[in-house]
A and B are shown apart, each in its own frame.
Chain A
C-alpha cells in the first residue's frame, strides 16, 4: 500500500476518533494562555492601549518560535494555505472589536471558563452563537445564490467555504 493510499484512508476519520495529542496539547494551550494572562481582560486591555507591551512581546516570540519550528518540521510545508478571501477584512474587523470588548478570543473564552471567571459562561455561549449565526447566514446566502444563478450551474459556490484554521 502506498503512502498516499494510507494518507487518504486516514483523512476520513470516524466521528469517534480521539487522538491523545489533541487533548494533551489542548490542555497545554489552556495552561499557557492562562499563565500568559491572555485570559485577563486588564492585561489584554493594557496591551491594546500600549500601556504594557508584555503580551505583544510574548506574541512576537510565539510567532518566531512557531515559524522556526514549522520550518524544521517537514509537515509545516504541507499545511493548508491561508489565502486572502472576501471574508478576511470584514470578519477580522468584527473579531477585533469583539475581542477588545469581551476580552476573549475563542481560545481565551474557554480558558476563562476553566479559570472560573463568571462572564466566561456567556462568552463561550456568545462565541458559539456568533459562529452558528455566521454559518446560518452563509448557508442562506449560498441558497439564494443557487436560486439566482442559472439552472445550468447546479453547483453554486459555497460561501461558508473551507474552514481549515
Chain B
C-alpha cells in the first residue's frame, strides 16, 4: 500500500478526531471503548457533552475501525498481503514475493522475530501489555496521545511522553539485542 504523506495523513487523522467530537460530543478514545466492554466505568458527563457510549456503540465503534481499515486494504489490493494463504490479488502476490510468508506483520517484523512461535509469543505478550497498560493509564494513542495532548492535559502529556519514550527504547533495544538494522 502506498501510504499517505505526513501532511495529508496527519490532517485526515486530526479531522476524524475533530469530526467525532463535533458529532458525538464525547472525547475520542479507543481504549475507553475497550475498557467499557470489559467492565470499566465510563463517565465524565456534563451539560455540553453527549451521552457516554453505550455498550453497543463501543462494540460498533471498534468493529467499524476494523471494517474501515479492511476497506482501505481491499481498495489498495493489499488485503491479507502478508498472509501466505490469503486472497492473492496481483498486488498481494508482489508483496508476497518481497516478504517471507510472515505472520501478517511484514518483512521488518519477520527479520527480527521470524514467522513462527517466537513471533506469535512477542505479539501476544505485547498485546496483553498494551491492554493492561492502557487501562492503567486510562488512555492510549488516541485518548492521551491525540485528544489529551491537543488539549494540553497534564496527565496525557506525561502519559504520551512515557509511552513514546519506552516504545523508542524498546525498539532500539530489540535492534541492538538482535543485531538487526
In the complex the two chains form, is B14's CB within 8 Å of A122's CB? no
Are B104's CB and A165's CB within 8 A?
A: no
Interface size for chain B: under 10, 10 to 19, 20 to 34, or 35 or more residues?
A: 35 or more
Among B68, B151, B170, the residue within 8 A (CB) of A79 is B151
Known: A92-B159, A92-B162, A128-B38. A78 touches B46 (CB 8 A): yes
* Whole-angstrom CA separation of A64 from B49 in the bound complex: 22
**In the bound complex, CA of A7 to CA of B46 (Å):** 7
Q: Is residue B158 within 8 Å, beta carbon to beta carbon, of the partner chain?
A: yes
Sorting the interface of chain A by its residue count into under 10, 10 to 19, 20 to 34 or 35 or more gives: 35 or more
Docked pose: A139 CA to B53 CA in angstroms: 22
Point out the residue from A63, A78, A90, A164 that lies within 8 Å of B146, measured CB to CB: A63
B54 touches A164 (CB 8 A): no
Closest Cβ of chain B: how far from A57's Cβ, in Å? Answer: 3
Given A11-B52, A35-B3 in contact, is the A162-B13 Cβ separation under 8 Å?
A: no
Is B159 a contact of A131 with CB atoms below 8 Å? no
Chain A 63-93, CB within 8 Å of chain B: the 1/0 string? Answer: 1111101100111111111111101111111
Asked whether A25 and B16 contact (CB < 8 A) given A10-B50, A18-B56, the answer is yes
Q: Closest CB of chain B to A9's CB: distance in Å?
A: 9
Query: Contact at A132–B38, with CB atoms within 8 Å?
Result: yes
Given the complex, which residues of B lie within 8 Å of A93, measured CB to CB?
133, 162-163, 166
Assuming A118-B83, A126-B128, A127-B34, is B137 touching A95 (CB within 8 A)?
A: yes
Interchain CB contact under 8 A, B131 and A133: yes
* B104 (CB) vs chain A CBs: closest residue: A117
In the complex, what residue of chain B is closest to A54 when comparing beta carbons?
B6
A122 and B35 CA atoms in complex are apart in Å by 17
B94 close to A (CB within 8 Å)? no
A119 & B142 in contact (Cβ 8 Å cutoff): no
24 residue pairs bridging A and B, Cβ less than 8 Å apart:
A11-B49, A13-B51, A25-B19, A25-B23, A28-B16, A29-B20, A32-B16, A33-B13, A56-B6, A60-B10, A61-B6, A65-B13, A66-B146, A69-B17, A70-B18, A77-B48, A79-B21, A82-B138, A87-B138, A91-B159, A95-B137, A116-B86, A126-B128, A132-B38
Task: Point out residues on B near A: beta carbons under 8 Å.
Answer: 1, 3-7, 9-32, 34-57, 60-73, 78-83, 86-87, 103-109, 119-120, 122-156, 158-160, 162-172, 174-175
CB-based closest 8 A-B pairs: A130-B131, A65-B14, A126-B127, A61-B10, A165-B143, A30-B68, A98-B129, A26-B64
| A interface, CB within 8 angstroms of B | 3-4, 7-8, 10-19, 21-37, 39-43, 45-46, 48-50, 54-67, 69-70, 73-85, 87-120, 122-135, 138-139, 158, 160-165
